Amino acid sequence: MKLLKKIIKISVFSLIIGLTLGLAVYGYGQVSVKLEIKSANNISLYDQSGNVFFQGNGTSKWATLDDISPYVINATIATEDKNFYKHFGFDFLRIIKAGYTNILAGKTKQGASTISQQYVKNLFLDFDKTWERKWNELWLTLNVEMHYSKDEILEGYLNTINYGHGMYGIENAASYYFNKSAKDLSLAEATMLVGIPKSPSNYSPIVNFDLAKSRQQLVLSNMVRNKYITEEEKNKALSEELHVIGKKSTIDSDTLLYFQDAVLDELKTIKSIPSSFLDTGGLKIYTTLDMNAQMSLEKAIKENLNGREELQTAGIMINPIDGSIIALVGGRDYAISQFNRATKSKRQVGSTMKPFLYYAALENGFTSSTSFTSEETTFVFSGEKTYSPQNANQIYGHKAISLATAIAYSENIYAVKTHMFLGEEILPNIAKRLGITSDLPAIPSLPLGTSEINIIEMASAYSVFANNGYKTTPHLITKIEDVDGNVLYEFKETPELVLNPSLSFILSELLTTTYDSTFIDYNYPTIINLAGRLSKKYAVKSGTTATDGWTIGYNPEVVTAVWIGFDDNKEIDSSMYSISKNIWADSMEVFLKDHEEVWFDIPSNVVGVLVDPISGLLATKDTPKKKILYYLKGTEPSSSEQMVFDEMLDN
């Protein structure tokens, strides 16, 4: 009896709560402002020239329900929300069932979002992942249900959902995957597409056809269960051979979507947008993309990775003056892998770390002629610990060589001697000043690039050298407007002087030695093979580890950084060492083909002196090879006498 009374009380209380909520919902529906769903979250991305290269909800190809195959409509309802036409935005029985299933499984195994809820998320809630978003989702879903018919909601959903590879909307997806209109999709094609949105990176037939096929089978089974098709039609669709095209009808690029994803990631970090986003009715995002730079980088990657299917790459091009990223590639082909290695990965940087060390050396009294002996060396540090690095191919000069020669050959012994001479804390500190945020331990091997750093960090740090010592913030978004042209955000920054401009000039000149034939002696400059292909003057440094190949170089106009390697950290072989160099050279040369050659002005306190390039000694009439190296006035060599720092290092 007591139990019965308790059940009655709970039921009455629940009824009162339900009626109260119902009245609140009805009242909200009457007073709430109707949301404009067809323009909301219509994200358009523009390149530097003002050309649209992406539209977030595909409204340029908006398809009415009459223009969409019934197979798509029925498959979507059967798979995503079978009670769509019966509920008012929330399927409570499904919520209870999903909750029960997830409790038993001990994890989130089943979702309960309706098409209306998913549509609201697509339109308005891409930015925040909080309980506040859940609350907003509730009221926004109610608003949409109150003000729009079910057909209007379904139509909007099908035109904004993500079908993978940057394809938003069923019309865009039908064109991309099957080169046809959404109304002409067969049952097999429709169910393949309907299976994608649950996980576009997994269920795309381009990424994993077998997984996409198993997902299609589930969609077809849902249609049978909900009596949209027969078992016979299901089997026929499963056996139909699909011809997946996977190409855009606009810009034919295998890598542009990496840039697009990076822009949308940066958008999420701009705090001023989420709070006002619901009122904007759409966004126009102006980016730093230079389509010529992007296609130059992509072309170079395609040509140089041809035949090496597992090898991956990342590359970016930055305008050093303002930090704008004008090209970004996160992998060899977005259709194969959507993982953006340019923004999300860190790799060992090898000898591309050395310019940071050598700038610090110049700042601490070194000159272009400062000498150490090139010979096998064991370093003792932290008491009795030892470190015995080796030069590439174990090539040593067994004589004193200049800083310029050490850079040309990428001498490991010289680098570690410099590092130990200056003190192990100097290099991490200078890297931090240049904008490197990755953790860099103060260890003897640091100048050889044993730490992992992101490619954008590296390119941005080199940009400081290319910008005469001024540091800027790497970025992809310059301005954001609403659909009415009101500016919601604009990138503004004052460059910060963090390096001595005169020393930056000297370092840039030293980085031209890497392809200079006057440095051919007991060894060869590291990228001497590129010398005949470079039509302009560049500062450039390459670097390799057992698993990574890097090349980073610049002139006053652009900094380009290229990485190659395997995602699983498999070792690269010697035949791959030249790939990053070739990609770098080809992309720079193609991009700058019609540009006049530019270089840095010589600072007034810097002087050029003719020297023997290998030793750094002042040249005489009998010196066989001569090279102009640069020095701060008063530090240039004035006689044939030479100070070798080895003895000072030992002390």
Q: Cβ contacts of residue 374 below 8 Å, gap of 6+? A: 391, 396, 397, 398, 399, 400, 401, 406, 411, 413, 414
Question: Any catalytic annotation for residue 80?
Answer: yes
Closest CA to 595 of 511, 515, 530, 537: 537
Decide: residue 651, CB within 10 A, 0-12 exposed, 13-18 middle, 19+ buried.
exposed
Contact 555, 509 (CB under 8 A): no
Closest CA to 367 of 358, 375, 379: 358
Q: Cβ contacts of residue 286 below 8 Å, gap of 6+? A: 46, 50, 477, 478, 479, 480, 481
Question: What is the helix (H) or strand (E) element at residue 508, kind and residue range?
Answer: helix 501-510
Contact 409, 510 (CB under 8 A): no
Rounded to 10 degrees, what is the CA torsion of 26, 32, 33, 36?
Answer: -60
For Cα atoms 390, 393, 396, give the angle at the middle one, nearest 5 degrees: 65
Q: Give the orientation angle of helix 115-124 with respect to helix 70-80, to 10 degrees.
A: 100
Closest CA to 126 of 21, 278, 259: 278
Q: Whole-angstrom Cα distance, residue 383 to residue 389?
A: 18
Of 44, 69, 80, 175, catalytic: 80
Q: Cβ contacts of residue 368 below 8 Å, gap of 6+? A: 402, 403, 404, 506, 509, 510, 611, 616, 629, 630, 631
β-partners of residue 563 are 314, 550
User: Running DSSP on this structure, what letter comes out for residue 184?
Assistant: G
Decide: residue 161, CB within 10 A, 0-12 exposed, 13-18 middle, 19+ buried.
buried
Of 44, 113, 345, 351, catalytic: 351
Residues carrying an active site annotation = 80, 351
